[in-house]
Structure 1
Amino acid sequence: MSFDDDYKKRVLEPARAAGDQPPEDLRARYVLPEKLTAEDVTARVKQVRQCWRRSRGQLKYRKLIDRLEAEHRGLGPVFAAAEQGDLRPLEQRLRGGDERNARRRAEVRNRLLDAAGPLRVLSPAECSAIGKAGGVFGAELSQLLRIDGLEVHEPDALPAAPPYPGYGKARESLEVLGSRHLLAFLLGSDRIGGIRLFDGVWAGGTAIDPAGAGRALERVAGEWARRPRDTSTTNAETVLIALRTALREDFLHDLLRYDFIARLRERREQRASDQALMDFAVRGLGVEPNEARRLVFAVSREGGTASGPAGRMRELLDAGNAHAAALLAEGLPEQELPPEAAEAGQRVAAASWLLDEALELTGRGDPDGAWTRLEDALRLAADLPGLREHQRRLPPLPPSEVEAEVDGTSVRLSWKPSPSRAGQILHEVVRRPGRPPRDSSDGTPVASVDLEPPVNVPLFYAVYTRRGEATSEPVPVGPVVLRPEPTRVELASGDGMVTGRWECPPEAARVDVLRDGVPVPAGREGFTDRDVRNGSTHRYRVYAVYIDGVTEVETPGVLVSVTPHALPDAVTSFDVEPYAQDRLLLRFPIPKHGLVEALLLDREPPWPTGALVPREELPAHRVESTPHARGLVVRPGASGVLLVVTVAGASAAVGAFRRHVDLPAPEGLTAVRRGGEVEVGFGWPGDAAAVAVTYEIAGGPAKRIGVSRAAYTAGGGVHLPVPEGDPVRVSVAGTSEHGGTVLTGPAVTASVAAPPVVRYDLAVTGPLWKRVLALTLTPDRPVRLERLELVVRDGRVMPREPSEGELLEVWEDMDLPDETVLRVPMPRRPGPFWLRCFTGPDVELSDPPVRRLQQGA
């Protein structure tokens, strides 16, 4: 073999197969010897370049040789140094080439592993493509495959369709019976394993031959025959019929094998990975691992693209261009026609028949039926001449019952949709002034609600349906004339006066107003009416007037009612009293004009007391309230500023306000006089930190003290110093501090009258054998005692009530104009005892010193 032939085989051909990519390894590119000398390198480079020049005459090598020459010019300094005896630059480049070769081999190896996946199997086409892309061929590629133990072989051809037409029904019956595949049903067990499918069918090391399969089939059929008849036996019979047919017609192995293939294909369509398919085949179906790998490899490599005319036809058929595929088949010899040619002819014939039927339906006035036939034909042969054009020309049926009505400043259209359902049906509307639109382009396109129609102009609308480029006949409606009413009509009432304002439509000639049917002078934008009565409701009609040629046309108008009122009177002050558990009475004189409402604000109002403001400017925080003869009963429900306002019509008079803290009023207030003090008791008001106790003695100036809860508990109440003869008025309210300000809740009040005071004294007189007790009574003013009781009690505890002792003497209906002395025998007791007087609640008895009350101590 000559040098040129050997160089072409070892270098040029692999490089051309790699896409005219020169070898990275300079040693391989220039066929350099292992041991480099200056003479050998120079001679070999010269020989290789002469081979390039001779090979460039062949067209297939020209592009590759041009690249080799271009890269050689860049290597000129390296080879010039080698010719002069300096081989170091060349050796350095060779070492770099070795590193690049190693990286290239590693990359190819990784790509091979990725393509092989967990199956560790590649098809020859895959292996060749990866080697070609990485510039690795022949023995070098085989070496990389051996390193990782990868196999290369063509995937087994698998059947595309089941050999038994009723396989789908049999498969459904298997699912109902819960059997995992036909072979498991045949052998009567789902636990069989080691199944092999390619060289016959094997299960558990035993071949499934016709004789053995027949015996197994009869055994299973006998077992099902002995069972009661139900849906399970019906499904079992369906499977048995399929197996008997396959056994009788000698395709049992094909049917059993297809059952496994179909189940794996389903998992593959569900985007299962190769590893998941392997697990399903081995663990789920019981296939022997090597057979499972072979089966999964074949399933995962299905769907490859054929080459040549068959491949081109398949591409055209998959793209829906069956007519083009049929034309391609016409140019091929009959003996070279692939199966795709027959499919193309059948699809074109079916599409042509559907086109003829669509034309006939169009002539009979059934565009929907024709459109459906053409849609079916497009799925068969989308490129059949005249098919799309005819479908585009098929209009849908028009809508019906079209109506148009004015809605404010717009026109609203409604219709019954087109009965056509084939394809995408759209409804569209056009508008034209003066006359009905003739077609879909004769007018202005609008939506079903025309938001900007011309005013005071006769308008016609037409609704039509569109399907693709074809439209139905327009269905007209009209004329409709839009004459807008005045907008933003607002009436305001005052004291004996009503004012109105609005926005007049620009196209209107003017705006007129009627009050209760009587014309009211008005301008284009408003009016003032002083001929009204306070307290009476007046109805106003505000309408626009348009000019139609020489005729005036009135709109129906906007109806508004209003009631004028006298100006409200402000509540300049009010008092707050507890009314119920969670309600307060705001006490004030009832104003003559207006209704009083209460508001709860979070801060003081921005208006002064007595200010007159529009009602809509008031805050919306109204308090639940009920009118009362003395004012207003409210339930604030929270702390804040209570403001009273008087409302009349659209006006409000701002009244007084005061801060309110949401504390309950004290309950069960009692005030009892005890000599020179008054004891005050009550139920503590909720979470109040303290209470404010205010008291007035004999109408004098009020005094206020604060009492904490701890002080109230420790003292057993509140003790107020009050002279015995003076009346006192006591009020108690809870307090709370907010932002440095002490707020007071609702107060409760009690009064203690000033009853007559009778002082008494006890003295013992007379000899020891005849002691007499002298009771001296001294009133501060003449008084009548309904009952006076003298009580004695043994021991060292003073009686506080008459019931705590023994009644010694009683005087009834006794007048005391001034000092009076009563005498009774001195009681004889074995030990120390107490003497004390008691009377009714209308008279206050003032006890003498304790030493006078205690005897015998």
Structure 2
Amino acid sequence: MAFDEQRYTREVLEPAREAGGLPPEDLRVRYQLREAMTAPEVSETVKQVRQCWRRARGMLKYKRLADRLEADHSRFAPIFSAAAEGDLTPLRAALGDSERRAARRLDDAGGRLDDAAGALRMLSPALLTTIARSSGVSPEEAVRLATERSIEVREPDALPEAAPYPGYGKAREALDTLGLSHLGRFIFGDRCAGMRVLDGLVVPGAGPAEDAVREVERQWSTRTRGPWTISADTVLAALRNSPGLATLIRYDIVARLRERVREHPYDDTLLRHATTELDLAPGDARRLIFAVRAEGGAVSGPSARLRELVDAGEIHAAADFADALDPGALIGEAAELATEVRARLARAVQLRNRARAALDPDDAWLALRDALQRVPDLPGAAELLVRLAPHPARGLRANLQGDGVSLVWQPSPSRAGRIVYDLYRNGAPLGTTERPSLRDERPPVNTPLTYSVVARRDEAVSMPAAAAPVVVRPEPRDIRLSAGDGVVSGRWSRPDGAMRVVVSRDGRVLASGDTGFRDREVVNGISHTYIVSAVYSGPEGEVITPGVRHTVTPQGRPRPVTDFTLHPDPAAPGTFLVRYEEPPTGELEIVALDAAPPWPLGTTLSLAELRGASRTIPTIPTREGQAIRPGGSQGVLLAVTVAGEVATVGGHLDHVNLAPPTRLTAQRRGVTVYVGFVWPPDVPEVEVRWKGRSMIVNPAAYRAQGGVRLDVPEGEPVTVEVAPTSLVHGERVRGPAASLRLPGHVPVHYDLSHQGPAWRRSVVVEVTADRPVRLRRFALVLKPGHVQPKSADDGVLLDHWIDLEVPARLTVPAPRQAKPYWLRCFAEGASEDAGAGSAMSPEGDVALIDPPVRRMKVG
């Protein structure tokens, strides 16, 4: 379809101008593109659209928009250059991005409309136009967005500026005295809820207003005279003398609403005030609040026109307008604006003249920029600005990097304005960037390439800087060399444009195919260097690339390690020492499997296959072999001998990683021994052994009982051993154990009694045990008060005995001590868990057992 310039102006340029000079984000609209266009059709349409921009630039109203469109086009030039070469992929991606930006612009505009409409959901046409222009959408789109959001666009209602009755102030004071919120309440009472005062006075459920006034007069005439009736008479006088009852009520409502608006409340608060306190219907409440908020003095005359031109940036036009006015019209604000406009224009003209005389384009550009900031419509300034090219870039270098070309240059010394760089390859546009570097990812292969760069500021471009010609000849890709027993093989991918690939080993060219080679003339254990190069046709014959270098070492078939042992390392929990006979070739590795290996002993397979079917275990070399940390709970450890890219399967063994428990503790409580420890990770059960007995404990049982409880006679020593355990293939396997020895002890009982007459009483201590035992030191302690002694030093020593043979009967004179007091015995070296204490004896630990409290406490 032929390009229709009139339609483009009507549907694109004019809406964009009305939207504040912002071009449409959607590139389909901006460039009149269609989905089914071919690459030549795209180039031709874009060309015609840009010609339309240049013609529209001659019209003052489209000049700024056309400049913006041309400036934006530089961002899309690489996309259309690719389209000209037949590649529409960048264009399709850009079209998708532009659609998303256009959608975001509409969403932003809708959000601004929502914010401006607020709770009232009303906007003036002028504010709608302003939001549309600043958001970059057309007024029609703004109206559609407002309709979708239930926003009413209307002019504010005209409100009365002066009271229709001169005595309204007195009537207002009288209403306040009567405690009424507005005049309608005086006339209609509670019936005025939902009252409408715009478009006539309407009170739901009430008759004519005149009848209501007469009824109010009758009611007040029957009341006893006083201050209340005087205020009512004042209001009634206002009603009788007002030119219109509806007009007075409306003015009263508006006056009260204006007072509340001056407090700057939120719209929700105003709506609540208008509908509850002023009894307005919701529709009238919204309209009145909207109208009151929109009130303000309207400026007109020369000052208004001058302000409009200044706000629009048309300073030169404002100066022409001021010069065309009669001198008598320039008074007040108009005179001030005219003076400001003329001063800004004069200074801008000076800067423009200085720019024309400047020798340095940067100085001229800065002067013109300042001039346009003062007077955006200064004649001739914009045209001069776009002709001020920056200083050129220098030192462009083109470096071959793989399949691409890296371009680096010294940036332009110009610092005025935004400098960008346009790159060209053999005269065709390549890309645009702000940084002094770019990479050509897809250059033509085996073709002389000449690159150049120009610095650009706006539309002005500098002299180009060119690099020395280069030719891109990629090396072979995906090169893979494998070494076996007396053989080395290789594969690759031949690059596009290459005639063939050649391979050399240690300077000797080898026979090779189109995608690989096989070299059988190598010696095991010796490293060989291979160079894989691509061959291209050149002007003077074949050209061979420097090639890609690889070094490999063929190895003989590695021998398997058929037997190895595994022992825990006592110095490092979780670590095991591997001992084996070192193979003559290759290196031993230990790998983990979940089950028995699928390969027979002695099988040689590729290292890649082995890695895919097993888990490599990190190893640390030791003097006797290797140290490994298998981790996990159980599995199979396999020994493999690795040489180059192959591995030979050796022996294997089942392994259960059972870590021993830590922090093992044991305490006696009579005939029960309480055992506790930190449960080892990844261990399903533990086995507890003591005095020839054993028991299996799982974590649930351990947590439920708060540990392990063992029955052991008090007098017998015991060794407790805790080992991790698990079932492997139906057989129970035990890991390293943790053990603790707990000595036995002999319980020794004592009893206290008082004998003899009151003037010569004695304390009798009877000490007994199940078998004879000797106590190194035995003491009797008294402590006054209600708290019993805790040790032999916590009180008064009544008596003590050394090397006491048990059983024994001891007598001590009764103390002369005021009641209450305590008597208690202690053996030297007592332990806290054995009642009063324990002492060392040849028989072992001795536990001293207290008698009942009533035997120890006196009084």
In terms of Rg, which structure is larger? 1
Q: State the TM-score, normalizing by the size of structure 1.
A: 0.45
Q: State the TM-score, normalizing by the size of structure 2.
A: 0.45
